[in-house]
Amino acid sequence: MRTDVAQPIRLADYRPPDYLIDRVDLDIRLDRQATRVIARLKLRPNPQGKTGADLVLDGDGLRLKRLLLDGAPLDIHANFVTPDRLTIASPPHEPFSLEIETELNPAANTQLMGLYRSGSAYCTQCEAEGFRRITYFLDRPDVLSVYSVRLEAEQTDAPILLSNGNRTATAAIEGTSRHFAVWHDPFPKPCYLFALVGGDLGAIHDTFTTASGREVQLGIYVEHGKEPSAAYAMDALKRAMRWDEEVFGREYDLDVFNIVAVSDFNMGAMENKGLNVFNDKYILASPETATDTDYAQIEAVIAHEYFHNWTGNRITCRDWFQLCLKEGLTVFRDHEFSADMRSRAVRRIADVRTLRAQQFPEDAGPLAHNVRPDSYYEINNFYTATVYEKGAELIRMLKVLIGAKAFRAGMDLYFARYDGTAATVEQFIACFAEVSGRDLTQFSRWYSQSGTPLVEVEAHYDAAAQALTLDFRQSCKKTPGQDEKLPFVIPIELGLLSHDGKIFDLVTGPQDGASAHELATGVIELTEPRRRLTFHALPERPVVSLLRGFSAPISLCYAASEDDLIAQTAHDSDSFNRWQASQTYATRLLLRSVERIRAGGAAESDPRFIDALRHVLKASPADPAFAAQVLALPGEADIAREIGANVDPDAIFAARKALREAIGSGLADELRALYASLAEDGAYSPDAAAAGRRALRNAALDLYTAANPDGRTLAEAQFTHAPFMTDKIAGLGILALHAGAERERAFEAYYEFYKNEPLAIDKWFALQAAIPEAGALERIRALMTHPAFSLSNPNRARALIGAFAAGNQTQFNAPDGSGYDFVAAIVLQLDEKNPQVAARLLGAFKSWRALEPHRRGLAEAALRRVIAQNRLSPDVKDIVERSLN
């Protein structure tokens, strides 16, 4: 653990490295407690760096055994060596070599950064700064090197030996029980993309022939016995490879592409060149153990990591401030892939839901930061929804602004110009400015100003003139370190419709301001704090469909009438806004109910909304997945975000519960009939259409059961008899909301059935952690002593503690502060082992300032207890300090 007083790293301080490392030859002898690493580096002074500077290599907890410069031993003690740094004073002025021997203890590595053990395998994680836990190095993404790696191990301990690139040799070492493999990666890469895996693993293999006819060997390595569960991931991989050729013109470049699934992993997956390492949750799927959502996520994460081969690996980041250059862009690419593989409309709704649930609260709270941060204390804490999800929205918005053709031309230019380099956001944006002829200076503010812009719109219809005037006003609240914001460029996709769904042409006069381009595309651009537009030739007051497809990551405030919202829910030709109108309607209703409940009254009931949902159900056969999205209603956290301040989670829960009950009783017959009509028989198919039907069927049962006790019988029967996980877990999830014997029976049965399937047991923990009842915390405490629980497995910790902190609004925010105290205590406990996961858990406090005063005080007290600890990791320290700022 680092103890020096932390200084922020600033983008403004960027300097090119003083030395470059052209070649890295690693010779690694794997051993559980004493792995020996010999790194042979070819260095030279960087013409762009400072001449004659000391060579300062990064380390993190390293044990140096030997050090040679140009073949001559260096006195370890005469040079400045600490576990965290190796300084060589005035090294040669011409190319030179270093040989560094270190010794590692992978079995003792609980941070899961650098070389560690997961199950029976050795594996590595180097992004962002894990390579320095393997050897001393210039651990920064702008140092690109060609790697050769020789791995040696006991044949029985690690019969499989993998690293980046192509395998050039493998053999048994005669006279011993050992063997080795040599891997060579011809593409220069930063060290964060280095990886090795050793272990006794099963595999499935396949091949892919690229557009230009090269055959690539594909392998997915998993625990023995799990091979069949990797088939869907392999299928997704081949589809992703084809799609990137067709849509972005990007071909794969090595002869081999390997993926390894491990069960101990801090994040989702990692794009190491030619050797992706995955959290097994994003590889393993069988109909019996994975839900439809799991399948969709596997497809998306497989694609995401594969797409990094071009956006991240072939072109990498100059420094970690440019993280969104690879992550935002790659998320955008995986969103597009999923949209093409599934329903574009439904994917868009799901992606925006995620953005609003994860990123909007971040932007509205103490952890708000730019998509491209200006400074950081701990880079691990910047793998955020802002960098990833908002970063993806910015790319999408760029495409909306310049059009699909110019977007593709800009991408082509970017690939052609920066291949093999470490690039910046400016260089990326400049490519699009160049091909589109557009000045993107103002657009770039999206990268340097945090916070979610608010766009307020007022409409005035003049019946005599048959004209509609729209007044737009944009603003953005202050965020940490940013009191004043400059106006953003905001594309607002717009449509005007009649109440029965006819589409009006957009017609403006010469003085009204909309350009011909805006009229043709339907995308209005806001660039100033205010803008007024008038549309003509409107014989009736139109329904205004604003921000179609969610054309910009903003929050929109427009007082549409209830009639408008009902009409939009029924008719808007933009399906995103059809969904949005239903959500807006529900949100308003819920907000009124919250007010009434807090004033001691009852929730509001609204037969019109129930009626609108009845129509949605009637139309649902045409698009079940869409109907399921409408039925999902805004979540408790969505409602809290809309309220914004003085939040009372219990009132929100009560309002939402009342609305669900009103729907369940008002539409009991329809829901029951729909549930019956969507009954499945036959084999499981993970495709989007089948998944959509299951989603609707389960949403119907969920709402039905909210008001009708016999729903529990249906849910229990479904849980017991469903052959596949999606329906099984849906049944269990419904039962989980209703205290009683059925629920306890079901949880027991589930455990018995799945006790040998870790990913299914994660779901078991998570569902119990989310039970929205007093007593949830006692259940969680008891579950922590369950033999299947382990705080050191990140998936398990997230399943129990993470699901509670992020998904159980009423109990995490229990008015006695017990939820806050519990999570804070776990964070401190976990911090000693795995700071990265601990810091992420602490992120659950990101909206604490928006709570009502009593809870706010308790949350703050819990955070103060964390900050008072004196052995905090930099990761947790950074989050808690910013949270309290």
Between residue 321 and residue 340, which ones bind Zn ion under the rule CB under 5 A?
Answer: 327, 330
**Binds ligand PHE (CB under 6 A): choice among 38, 151, 222, 267:** 267
Closer to Zn ion by CB, 323 or 651: give it: 323
CA dist list (Å): 194 to 183, 364, 571: 11, 36, 52
Between residue 106 and residue 125, which ones bind ligand PHE under the rule CB under 6 A?
Answer: 125
CB under 5 to 8 A by kind: which of Zn ion, ligand PHE, none does 267 bind? ligand PHE
Closer to ligand PHE by CB, 55 or 262: give it: 262
Size of the site for Zn ion (CB under 5 A): 2
CB under 5 to 8 A by kind: which of Zn ion, ligand PHE, none does 383 bind? ligand PHE
CB under 5 to 8 A by kind: which of Zn ion, ligand PHE, none does 132 bind? none
Closer to Zn ion by CB, 331 or 859: give it: 331
Structure tokens at 155: 């044949």
The reply to whether 305 belongs to the active site is yes
Q: How far is the CB of 267 from ligand PHE (least distance, A)?
A: 4
Please choose, out of 162-170, 269-277, 763-771, 818-826, the segment that lies near ligand PHE by the rule CB under 6 A. 269-277
CB under 5 to 8 A by kind: which of ligand PHE, Zn ion, none does 127 bind? ligand PHE
Rounded distance between C-alpha atoms, residue 648 and residue 641, angstroms: 11
Please choose, out of 94-102, 217-225, 320-328, 590-598, the segment that lies near Zn ion by the rule CB under 5 A. 320-328
- Closest residue to ligand PHE, judged by C-beta, is 267
Closer to ligand PHE by CB, 196 or 346: give it: 196
**Binds ligand PHE (CB under 6 A): choice among 306, 310, 383, 750:** 383
514 lies in the site for ligand PHE, by CB under 6 A = no
Q: How far is the CB of 297 from ligand PHE (least distance, A)?
A: 13
Residues contacting residue 355 through CB under 8 Å, at least 6 positions apart: 385, 389, 390, 393, 553
Rounded distance between C-alpha atoms, residue 109 and residue 103, angstroms: 13
Q: How far is the CB of 380 from ligand PHE (least distance, A)?
A: 7
Structure tokens at 418: 């920066």
Instruction: Return the ∠ at Cα 772 (arms to 769 and 776), rounded to 5°.
Output: 50
Closer to Zn ion by CB, 324 or 803: give it: 324
Rg (CA), the chain: 28
Instruction: Return the ∠ at Cα 643 (arms to 637 and 644), rounded to 5°.
Output: 85
Please choose, out of 286-294, 301-309, 356-364, 505-513, the segment that lies near ligand PHE by the rule CB under 6 A. 301-309
Residue at 487: amino acid letter: P
Q: What binding mask, one character per residue, do residues 215-254 give for ligand PHE by CB under 6 A, x or -?
A: ----------------------------------------
Between residue 125 and residue 164, which ones bind ligand PHE under the rule CB under 6 A?
Answer: 125, 127-128
Q: Are 676 and 683 in contact (CB under 8 A)?
A: no
CB under 5 to 8 A by kind: which of ligand PHE, Zn ion, none does 229 bind? none
Q: How far is the CB of 248 from Zn ion (least distance, A)?
A: 16
Closer to ligand PHE by CB, 99 or 271: give it: 271
Rounded distance between C-alpha atoms, residue 744 and residue 754, angstroms: 16
DSSP label at residue 177: S
CB under 5 to 8 A by kind: which of ligand PHE, Zn ion, none does 125 bind? ligand PHE
Which among 305, 324, 451, 450 has a CA at the least distance from the CA of 387? 324
Closer to Zn ion by CB, 313 or 811: give it: 313
**Binds ligand PHE (CB under 6 A): choice among 25, 223, 271, 670:** 271
270 lies in the site for ligand PHE, by CB under 6 A = yes
Structure tokens at 20: 């470059």
Rounded distance between C-alpha atoms, residue 362 and residue 369, angstroms: 8
Size of the site for ligand PHE (CB under 6 A): 12
CB under 5 to 8 A by kind: which of Zn ion, ligand PHE, none does 688 bind? none
**Binds ligand PHE (CB under 6 A): choice among 27, 99, 327, 638:** 327
Closer to ligand PHE by CB, 267 or 746: give it: 267
CA dist list (Å): 308 to 244, 260, 325, 381: 11, 16, 11, 20
> Which letter, b or e, does each residue of 664-697 get, where b requires 16 or more Cβ atoms within 10 Å of its Cβ?
bebbbebbbebbeebeeeeebebebebbbbbbbb
Q: Are 585 and 533 in contact (CB under 8 A)?
A: no
Task: Give me the residue label for tokens 């839900």.
Answer: 291
Give the dihedral sign, CA 128/133/139/144: negative
300 lies in the site for ligand PHE, by CB under 6 A = no
Rounded distance between C-alpha atoms, residue 294 and residue 440, angstroms: 38
Closer to ligand PHE by CB, 163 or 587: give it: 163
Phi, psi of 211, deg, nearest 5: -55, -35
Pick the catalytic residue: 305, 327, 389, 518?
A: 305
Q: For residue 269, what are the β-bridge partners?
A: 278
Please choose, out of 300-308, 564-572, 751-759, 777-785, the segment that lies near ligand PHE by the rule CB under 6 A. 300-308
Rounded distance between C-alpha atoms, residue 36 and residue 106, angstroms: 11
Q: How far is the CB of 127 from ligand PHE (least distance, A)?
A: 4
Rounded distance between C-alpha atoms, residue 36 and residue 589, angstroms: 64
Q: How far is the CB of 39 from ligand PHE (least distance, A)?
A: 21
Task: Give me the residue label for tokens 């050992």.
Answer: 178
Between residue 405 and residue 434, which ones bind ligand PHE under the rule CB under 6 A?
Answer: none
Closer to ligand PHE by CB, 300 or 490: give it: 300
CB under 5 to 8 A by kind: which of Zn ion, ligand PHE, none does 270 bind? ligand PHE
Residues contacting residue 299 through CB under 8 Å, at least 6 positions apart: 232, 236, 239, 337, 338, 341
For the residues of 781-818, what is the DSSP string, one character each?
A: HHHHTSTT--SSSHHHHIIIIIHHHHH-HHHHT-TTSH
Residues found near ligand PHE in the complex (CB under 6 A):
125, 127-128, 267, 269-271, 304-305, 308, 327, 383
Active site residues: 305
Residues found near Zn ion in the complex (CB under 5 A):
327, 330
